[in-house]
Amino acid sequence: MKILSYNTRGLGSRTKWRFIRELILKEKVDMVSFQETKLDIIDKPLCNFIWGDSSFEWAFTPAVNRGRDLLCIWQQGAFVLENCHRGSSFISLRGVWGENSLSCVITNIYSPCSLKEKRIQWSEVVALRSTSPLLAWCVVGDFNSVRPLAERRGVSTSSYASRRDIKEFNLFIDAMQLCDIPLAGRRFIWVRPNGRAMSRLDRALVSVDWLEDWPNCFQQVMSRDISDHCPVVIKRSDVNWGPKPFRFL
């Protein structure tokens, strides 16, 4: 099981398509979750070019609401889709992962910058989780929030609004009954072009039931290239993380 999550800041150039296709082939991922494609229309030929062959399925939301658009592509047979729920800048894919026939939900999310809008999105995702019969959840994407102050550098975090955002993001994670999985590679995933500000806005959050079926999962932060965000690959490790295979930040 390998999932690539990537805020591409646009997906309209062949240069980006080639870079992503090479990354998919190199990492041998089973699913990709893109945020901010900035595309009104996504068709099969485009997905075919990005994925590298025709054995795939996909789901997307168009470029509306100030660009908070999403695309998921996955290997045909690796994940069998049963239902696709499109919400406020998120896509939830409910299905069966072919590796061990586990019923699960994989959610690709792109949170707005405004805390008011985040509250709307987060409450919708929590409501979906509370009514879902499935317990194995993985939520990936760009949350535009950090958990502790240490996840930001060069960005003001002393204001009441910043502290409130952090508190409510953690409350959302608790309400979803999700947890962080270990982070490898770079500490900061978003970097301003001039390098003076950086944050960990992107992450993977999973449920305990997910970890029971896929233990020793971690998120590998790759090198930044075609975007001001780094790609993140969620995969299994040969290392045994022990009785607590994840950490709270």
The CATH number of whichever domain residue 72 belongs to comes to: 3.60.10.10
Q: Choose among 3, 14, 147: nearest CA to 73.
A: 3
Q: Which of 42-56, 69-83, 86-100, 108-122 bottoms out in mean pLDDT, i.e. has the lowest?
A: 86-100
Mean pLDDT confidence for 232-236: 95
Write the DSSP symbol of residue 35: E
Residues 115-168: tens digit of each pLDDT = 999 999 999 999 999 999 999 999 999 999 999 999 999 876 667 778 999 999
Q: Does a structural domain hold residue 198?
A: yes
pLDDT at 219 (0 to 100): 96
211 pLDDT higher than 80 = yes
Task: For residue 127, count other CB atoms closer than 10 A to its CB.
Answer: 12
pLDDT band at 245 (very low <50, low <70, confident <90, very high): very low
pTM to 2 decimals?
0.92
pLDDT band at 1 (very low <50, low <70, confident <90, very high): confident
DSSP characters for 147-172? SSGGGEESS---SHHHHHHHHHHHHH
Q: Does a structural domain hold residue 15?
A: yes
Q: Does a structural domain hold residue 247?
A: no
Question: What gap in Å lies between CA 141 and CA 6, rounded to an integer?
Answer: 7
Q: Does a structural domain hold residue 248?
A: no
Q: Does a structural domain hold residue 138?
A: yes
pLDDT at 246 (0 to 100): 40
Q: Does a structural domain hold residue 246?
A: no
| pLDDT > 90 fraction of the chain, expressed in percent and rounded | 80
Contact 105, 94 (CB under 8 A): yes
The number of folded domains in the chain is: 1
Domain range for 153 is: 3-236
Which residues are paired to 235 by β-bridges? 218
Q: Does a structural domain hold residue 36?
A: yes
Q: Does a structural domain hold residue 241?
A: no
Residue 72, SS3 per DSSP: strand
Sheet (strand 202-206) strand order:
79-87, 90-97, 102-110, 137-142, 202-206, 179-180
